Amino acid sequence: MPSFDIHTHTSIFSDCSFIMPEDLIRRAAEVGLDGIAVTEHGMRWPDDKFAELEGLACAQDLVLINGQEIKTAGANHKMEGEFLVFGLRRSLTGNYSAKELVEIVHAEGGILIAAHPYKLSRGGRSHYYGAGDRIYDLQLDALELCHPGHDERAMKKVRTAMDKTGFPGTGGSDSHKLSDVGACVTLFENKIRDEEDFIREIRMGRIQAEKRK
């Protein structure tokens, strides 16, 4: 089954990352991935720059997907979770609630995945960096199941949500350093050649999540 790390960051557009794009591609090939998705914080790679990156990936026989990770907040500025967005042709640079983000992305033909919904914050056992139980109230396309910040308790919560909602589970490393690339992956039942294949297979739920580290 083709394996993709669908949650990665580079130092070009994510200040918190230590990974240069060319090193990300090289490392993905070294660990045997078939593809990667670049999901910078708050923006999508510009098409011209991404085309250059795709050239490097193609030379390594890797499929490269252009995505973005968007943070949401409600009217009271309370965090409502982070979401991986694919299929849009622009960066979502505004301020959105989780519900608004879902509506915008679906209206433009894209998909959303709740990123690390139950990753614990420093606030304690019921405070999360992700959407938490809000995932039950949103029309999402998938939930990130396998993530380095998800312990067994968190993964159990995601699996319960998957059973109740029918959302499929994905895997991604959320890599900010090179050694994390490929730590968690999404396995596809069918060959992925481009973004169209990628989005269709996630929508159809023909995927599995796998934790490798």
Report the pLDDT averaged over residues 72-97: 94
Distances (CA, A) of 57 to 23, 35, 68, 209: 11, 8, 18, 23
Instruction: Quote the tokens at residue 97.
Output: 């609630």
| Banded model confidence at residue 119, pLDDT cuts 50, 70, 90 | very high
Domain spans in the chain, listed from the N-terminal domain onward: 3-211
Global pTM value: 0.96
Architecture of domain 3-211: Alpha-Beta Barrel (3.20)
Q: pLDDT tens across 152-186, in order?
A: 999 999 999 999 999 999 999 999 999 999 999 99
pLDDT at residue 42 above 90? Answer: yes
Q: What is the mean pLDDT of the chain?
A: 95
pLDDT at 120: 87
Name the more confident of 126 and 206: 206
143: nearest Cα among 121, 123, 125, 163: 163
Phi, psi torsion values for 128, nearest 5 degrees: -125, 155
% residues pLDDT > 70 (the chain): 98
